[in-house]
Structure 1
Amino acid sequence: MSANITVEKPETADVLELIDRSDAYIASLYPPEGNFTVDVGALRQPDISFVVARTKGQAVGCGAIKWLEDGTAELKRIFVADEARGKGIGRQIMTTLLEMAEVHGIECLYLETGPRNTEAVSLYQTLGFRECGPFAGYQENPYSLFMARQLVNA
């Protein structure tokens, strides 16, 4: 399955529903003290680029990247709806975000995820992300896995 991926603001009903589903998914994996998802308001900030994957006009996935002042960036969200999982949509979203980071001249892309989110961890590892320590004010905790990828063309 191939999706059309565009930069959008998280404002349409189908995208907001997708974000709600993403939040519910993370809440099903982690207790409140292990849930570090970014709320919709933060996803609308000017230093964040938000992308939506659509098939047949319907939002089936999304991702967000935050541009940091030090020449790095942080993946703030990636989610693919249940009905679109296992079809390459997550890889398409990540590839788009990596291309955006390279265009911005980003040296390193960081992310925080959780070890229970095994599908995401596997995707990140496949795309060259490696474990690293906490960054950007995060602290070590049993619910977080910190990863980074150096970008070749930066």
Structure 2
Amino acid sequence: MKPIYLEQVLDFVREVDLRFGAPGSGGARANLEQDAVSLLSSLNQIQRDQLAAGMAEVRRLLRASAVRVDVEAPESADARWCMQEYFQELARRFDAGFDPAVSNPADEATLRPPNGVFVIARLDGEPVGCGALKSIRPGMGELKRMWVADRARGLGVGRRIIEALEGRARDFAISLLRLETNRNLTEALSLYRSSGYLEVPAFNDEPYAHHWFEKEIG
């Protein structure tokens, strides 16, 4: 038996207990390792691999269920931290770096009602993503400042942020949403396309953009 599987089972049970607030008694925990060994001994290698993959998926879903997306003042400490992380990632990934002063503006005043809204995604209370909605004109808005931390990738955080912003857009009577992005942000391109955004000709002069999208949200 590969030792890693025993450790995976033990870690999995501990994480499930923590998520559901049921750590169990010391006596119950005393037999946990023995039970895990018994379980694994009854499985062949293929079944152990399947068990490990299943536990990994359950852990991912448990983490995803802990994500919360809430409206936040764009001048808050967490919002500004998210913006700093976002700008630093763009600077790393764009071919020629990134300068916020050159990019089309989305200042704090435009990201507060009634002009717009800023949201933060948190995992276990810690910020792991953000996004903003900016009103352009009656019935039309723009998604801005979409960012997800590396440690929260794969949990559906970006989609949760988009859904939250689309809901707010409907509250503002916005029926058409637009956004633009850079060709190096491949995860963002995939997210926007899978979320129903259609690529359209350039509608602004954003110097860092290579792709422009829009979506009718009705």
User: Does the TM-score normalized on the shorter chain lie above 0.5?
Assistant: yes
The structure with the largest helix share of the pair is 2
Work out which structure has the larger RCO, using CA pairs closer than 8 Å and 6 or more positions apart in sequence. Answer: 1
* Structure 2 residue 108 is matched with structure 1 residue 43: yes
Aligned amino acid, residue 103 of structure 2:
F
Aligned amino acid, residue 64 of structure 1:
A
Gaps of 5+ in 2: 1-63
Match of 2:185 in 1: 117
Distance in 1 between residues matched to 2:123 and 2:173, nearest whole Å: 30
Q: In 2 relative to 1, CA 27–67 (structure 1 residues): closer, same or farther, beyond 3 Å? A: same
1:25-44 superposed matches below 5 A: 25-30=89-94, 31=96, 32=98, 36=103, 38=105, 42-44=107-109
**Superposition deviation, residue 140 in structure 1:** 7.8
RMSD: 2.3
Identity %: 34
Deviates more, 1:25-34 or 1:124-133: 25-34
Q: In 2 relative to 1, CA 145–85 (structure 1 residues): closer, same or farther, beyond 3 Å? A: same
Distance in 2 between residues matched to 1:149 and 1:57, nearest whole Å: 31
1:79-94 superposed matches below 5 A: 79-94=147-162
Q: Which has the larger radius of gyration?
A: 2
Match of 1:105 in 2: 173
Deviations 1:91-136 (A, max 9, x none): 110111111112222121000111110000100000000111122x
Determine which of 57, 75, 78 is the counterpart of 1:11. Answer: 75
Q: In 2 relative to 1, CA 131–10 (structure 1 residues): closer, same or farther, beyond 3 Å? A: same
Q: In 2 relative to 1, CA 59–69 (structure 1 residues): closer, same or farther, beyond 3 Å? A: same
Secondary structure of residue in 1 paired with 2:147: strand
Distance in 1 between residues matched to 2:99 and 2:79, nearest whole Å: 26
